Amino acid sequence: MTPNGHTVLITGGATGIGFALAKQFHNAGNQVILVGRREDVLQQAAAQLSGCRYAVADVSKAEDRERLARDFADVNVLINNAAIQYTKPLAEQTDAEIVQEIDINLTAPVLLTQAFMSVLQAKPSAAVVNVSSGLAIVPKETCALYCATKAALHSYSQVLRWQLEATHVRVFEILPPMVATPLSQGKGHANLKISPDELAAEFWRDFQRDHYEIMVGKSKWLYWINRISATLGQRIMRKGL
């Protein structure tokens, strides 16, 4: 993909990975639209990026997805980044928590992409960027549904890429390691985390080279360890690294 000339909509764009990606695109001369549920946080983030637009929306709601596709028909790069994670045993998760985690992490990006499909296909160059996780490769015991939804998003990204390969819409996937964001606060080892800006910089290099499956940092290690020995990969992740 070319580095500029895009209009980019980023869900969960006001903090963490989303905001780091927003800065990367903005600094390269692209138009950026931040999407999130809290207007105060969106305002603070947008104020740091000259000309940045934002929209308050809950992407797990059909009416909000439809409104975004209707109001931002100039978008040609859609980044599905918003996600939540519950770290508790499955037996302790409520029905509402289970539904919410699946809705936000999997159903929402699939249906938001569907809502924007005609918008994207009308552009001479377009892209969908799904932020999954290194945990799509090997799951972690403490966050079963998060891993399951990211593994499903990984599979969805592969198939969507195949189905759209004859069109102008390219499908990218970012598989991050543990990143120092509010979602990972108090989890894992601090010295094993990378910063959101480090992730965005690595993504940016591969995005311009049309590397569609972007494994960042230690996700590459996990991929190769799992290829060599799935048992070893599982043992590492069960230790909570």
Task: Point out the residues that are catalytic.
Answer: 146
CA proximity to 172, closest of 207, 202, 137? 207
H or E stretch at 79? strand 77-80
- CB count within 10 Å of CB 136 equals 23
- What is the Cα–Cα distance from 60 to 217, expressed in whole angstroms? 29
Q: Using CA atoms, how far apart are residues 79 and 23, in angstroms rounded to an integer?
A: 13
Q: Is 40 exposed, middle or buried (0-12, 13-18, 19+ CB in 10 A)?
A: exposed
- Dist. CA 54–CA 62, nearest whole Å: 18
